[in-house]
A and B are shown apart, each in its own frame.
Chain A
Amino acid sequence: MIQMFHVSKIYPKEVVALSDITLHVQKGEFVFLSGPSGAGKTTLLRLIFRDELPTSGQILVNGRNVVRLRESKLPALRRSIGVIFQDFKLLMDRTVYDNLNLVARVLGVPEAVSRRKIGRLLKEVGLLRKADETPYKLSGGEQQRVAIARALMSDPAILLADEPTGNLDQDLALDVMRLLVEVNIRGTTVVVATHNRRLVSEMGQRALILKQGRLMEEIH
């Protein structure tokens, strides 16, 4: 599903974010991407949905060569990948409903269809009653779950989650993880970037460990 071959990413001023990464995530897998802050986790995720291009190396996602992807094919790639951003990227002045509906509109889904889908997803993340609130009024954990629901709006084949438990306490963190595992069970390939080693060991899933932009070890 996701393959990287000798991928390096060097930001301007010689900041080496990733160096010589080769990895393979199978279809339907649940994988942690772990390592201390600044290790390159976010950068690696951004390469997958082509928010950044690698300095060198090749990346295949769902059979597409991401590096050589034409501009016109970018929307299709992005629609097949749901992303939960570390900073959520929610529109704070729109309702939860409108935040989710934005995706439906981009996809050209009729309002009637998207309304049902938003209802289902909000129920799944336990926020049905907050549909008409703005994220501004929600707690961090609730905002996190809105971000998850939005990432699932396009029924993505791949779900990328960047520090989805970032500032949650352990109980809430485990709730969120359970949610992601459920999504994975229904067939979505899930990659979770987290610096929380305890969470990784508690979940007992495959984990790729990054340190200073290098892939150090794999835990199975």
Chain B
Amino acid sequence: MFWERLRHLLDETFLNFRRGGWGVVASIGAITVAFLVTGTFLLLTLNLGTVVAQWAEDFQVIAFLADAITPEQVTLLRKRLEGELAVREVTYVSREEALADFRRQIRGQESLLEGLKTNPLPASFQLRIQKEYQTPTALGQLAVSLRRMEGVEDVLYGQEWVDRLTSLVQVMKILGIVIGAVLGIASLFIVANTIRLAVYARAQEIEIMRLVGASRSYVQIPLILDGTLQGGLGAALALGMLYVLFRATLWQLGASAPLIFSGGELGRFLDVEYRMGMVGVGALLGAVGSLVAVRRFLRA
């Protein structure tokens, strides 16, 4: 009995799939597009978020030093910097270290540096900032006072960028949610429509099944399963495409990627939770869509 039921369920589901033909293809395609667009936003938002967070953490303020600075001046400067209330940690990066870092970052493209006779990079102090001082005003004041110090040539002060990027990430997040919601609802209706057509195409068979004693769920469950499968498949397909797109983009970025994703962490694809979540949401959309269709068009 159980196996008969299970077999029926699978048979019916795949039958719907086959009969659905282009309708099913279109349905899955629509879901794929919806998830591809939403997934792209998700991926960009997450990666950009990581990069920005890293920048915020690592490169808050960099004080570049004059090439002519003496070791004594460096020691003095370090003392003064460590005395600043806003500064949590001071790291000295010599010119040689800066060059070595740079070499590491552009690994694979070392040839870019071949023509260099002298080291063009300045030494610097990299400053990590106390949490309380991580505001644009506080950092602005710090930057001003650093520039006045002897031996400091320039101050790179990333907060403005970090703020801008943070709000960009925020905007992208909201945009992604809105677009995702709109496309999600659209694909829900598309699935509903596909299932409605499946119901119509099989109206006579469904009527006969009901008349010879099929329960409502016996008729409905394969249709709902069908929609669920369409949703899940569409989302999974989108995920696959997204991955290919992601790889291709990284490859395209090639040389510049290590600079963008500094700190060794190259762009990350969606975590397994996100991937499962996407397929789950796709399946859920499909299930709800087909449930709506079955409720509305299956009066049997």
Partner-B contacts on A (CB < 8 A): 49, 51, 71-72, 74-79, 83, 89, 91, 102-103, 105-110, 150, 153-154
Contact = CB atoms under 8 A, between A and B. Distances in A.
Central interface residue in B205, B207, B208, B213, by most chain A CB within 10 Å: B213
A78 B212 contact: yes
Contact of A110 (B4, B207, B213, B214): B4
A75 B204 contact: no
Contacts of B208: 89, 91, 102
Contacts of B4: 105, 108-110
A108 B1 CA distance: 6
Nearest to B12: A105
B213 A89 contact: no
Contact of A71 (B205, B207, B211, B216): B216
Contact of B212 (A76, A79, A108): A79
Central interface residue in B1, B204, B208, by most chain A CB within 10 Å: B208
10 contacts: A49-B211, A83-B211, A91-B208, A105-B8, A106-B218, A107-B213, A109-B4, A150-B212, A154-B212, A154-B213
Q: Which 8 A-B pairs have the closest CB atoms?
A: A78-B213, A79-B213, A106-B214, A75-B213, A108-B4, A75-B215, A103-B212, A108-B1
Nearest to A104: B4
A51 B211 contact: yes
B43 to A, nearest CB: 45
Contacts of A106: 209, 212-214, 218
Contacts of A71: 216
Contacts of B8: 105, 108
B148 interface: no
A76 B4 CA distance: 18
Contacts of B218: 75, 106
A91 B215 contact: no
Interface residues of B, number: 17
B108 to A, nearest CB: 62
Contacts of B213: 74-79, 106-107, 154
Interface of B: 1, 4-5, 8, 204-205, 207-216, 218
Contacts of B214: 75, 106
Contacts of A72: 215
A103 B218 CA distance: 13
B11 to A, nearest CB: 8
B63 to A, nearest CB: 78
A138 B80 CA distance: 103
Contacts of B212: 78-79, 83, 102-103, 106, 150, 153-154
B211 A89 contact: yes
Given A75-B214, A107-B213, 19 more contacts: A49-B211, A71-B216, A75-B218, A78-B211, A79-B212, A79-B213, A89-B204, A91-B205, A91-B208, A102-B208, A102-B212, A106-B209, A106-B212, A106-B214, A108-B5, A108-B8, A150-B212, A154-B212, A154-B213
A92 to B, nearest CB: 9
Contacts of B207: 89
Contact of A102 (B1, B5, B209, B216): B209
A51 B212 CA distance: 11
B242 to A, nearest CB: 40
Central interface residue in A49, A76, A103, by most chain B CB within 10 Å: A103
Nearest to A107: B213
B267 to A, nearest CB: 51
A110 B4 CA distance: 6
Given A105-B4, A108-B5, A91 B211 contact: no
Contacts of B216: 71
A105 B213 CA distance: 11
Nearest to B210: A78
Nearest to A81: B213
A107 B212 CA distance: 9
A33 to B, nearest CB: 19
A85 B8 CA distance: 25
B225 to A, nearest CB: 16
Nearest to A90: B208
A113 to B, nearest CB: 10
A1 to B, nearest CB: 18
Contacts of A154: 212-213
Contact of A91 (B1, B5, B204, B210): B204
